[in-house]
Amino acid sequence: MPGESLERRLQRIHILGLKDGLVLRAVQQIFEESNTTCKDVAPKLRQPGERWLIRGPCEYVPPVGVEVVEKRTAIPLGESEGIYVRNTQTGEVRVVTGTTYMLTEDEEHWEKQLPTSVIELLADEEVRFRNRIHLAEVSYPSPVSACAMIQDYFECEEADEYGESSLILPEEPKPFQVISLQVPHNAAAQINDYRQNKSRVEFGPVLVMLGPHEQFTLLSLSGGKPKRPNVVKSLYLLLGPDFVTDMVVVETADHARLSLQLSYNWIFDTTEAMENPVEADKLFSVPDFNSARTIRVACLGLDESGKVQNSCMFTENRLRITGVDIQAVAPTDERTRELLMKSVQMAIEITTSSLEAAAT
C-alpha cells in the first residue's frame, strides 16, 4: 500500500520441532490471540517487556509488537550428566541431571567458578571439565553469505527466492556441564557446601557431581624421603592398604647419629565411617599426617601385657599402621661411618684368623 514499508523485510515462519522453543518479548502492550498449532499460545494481554516461552511442535509467526529474543533447544541429559541453571528473577542456581530439559524464559546457563589448583587436578583426572565451553567463546551461527547483525537478527546480503534478505535467529549459548569427579575404588572425597556450612564424604567407586555451592576438599599431603610437607596434591584420599617408606634420623646412647629407612604398612579404618558421617569426616580432619615422631618414640606401642601391638590406630583420622620394617641403618656422620666400616672390617679379619687357626 502507498506509504507502507516492511519493518524487517520478509520474515520466515518459525517451524519448531518437538525439542525446540522460542523466547518472546512484548515491545508494546498487545493482546495475544490463540494459535491453532502452538499449544502454549493462548489469549492473553501482554505488557511491554514481558517475556514468555512457547514450545514446539508448531508453526509460529510473531505478531506486531512481539519480538523473538532467542531460540531454545531441549538438552538431553543422562544420569551422569548435568548442567547448571540460574533463575534470572531470583538468582537461584540449581543442577539439572538425568532428563531432557529446556530453559524457561527466566533461566540462563550458569558457569561455576573453581580454584586454579582444582582445575589443574580435574584436568589431570581427565574429567569433563576440559570439554566445557565458555560463553565468551560461543559465537552466533554464521550463514553462508556475509551477514550483519541488526536488532538481535542477522540480515544476509544474499536475496532469497522472493528477492528479499532472510533473517536468522541467534542460538542460545552453550550450556556449562556440571563439574564431576570420578572417585576410584577404595578412595574417598570430601565435598563442602559453603551455603549450608556442612560437608559430606563420598566413598568410591562413585561419580561425584558438584552442586552450585559445593567445592572439593583439596588435600595437600607430605611425600618423598624423608617426608616433606605439601608434596602430594589430590582431590581424593586413598584408603589403602598400602605401604610407605620414610627416613628417620636417630641418636644412640653413645651419641652416634643413625639414619633409619623405614617401611610400614597402613590402612584407613572405614568400619564405622561408611555409616557414620561424623566418623567419615575424621578421615579429612588432619590436613597433613606425619607419623615419624610417633614411630620413633614407640613404633606400634605396647599392649596391657607389655607385648608389641599388631597395629597402631590414630583416632584423629582413623589411620591404622599394621606393620613397621627398618629397611636400612646408616650413620649420618661421615667420620662415624668410616670408623664403623673399619670396625666391621677388623671384626671380619679377626673372625677369619680365628677360623684359620682352628683349621690348622
Residues 215/205, Cβ–Cβ less than 8 Å: no
Grouping H, G, I as helix, E, B as strand and the rest as coil, residue 149 is: strand
Cell of 172: 542460545
The C-alpha atoms of residue 230 and residue 243 are separated, in whole angstroms, by 19
b/e per residue, 274-297, with b = 16+ CB within 10 A? Answer: eeeeebbbbbbeeeeeebbeebee
Q: Which domains does the chain have, with CATH numbers?
A: 12-74 (2.30.30.550), 238-334 (3.30.479.30)
pLDDT digits (tens, 9 = 90+) for 170-184: 566 678 889 999 999
The C-alpha atoms of residue 88 and residue 102 are separated, in whole angstroms, by 15
pTM, two decimals, is 0.65
Residues 191/283, Cβ–Cβ less than 8 Å: no
> What pLDDT was estimated at residue 327?
62
- Intervals of the chain under pLDDT 50: 127-167, 291-294, 296-297
What one-character DSSP code corresponds to residue 212?
T
pLDDT digits (tens, 9 = 90+) for 258-304: 777 878 788 888 888 888 888 888 888 866 555 444 454 455 666 67
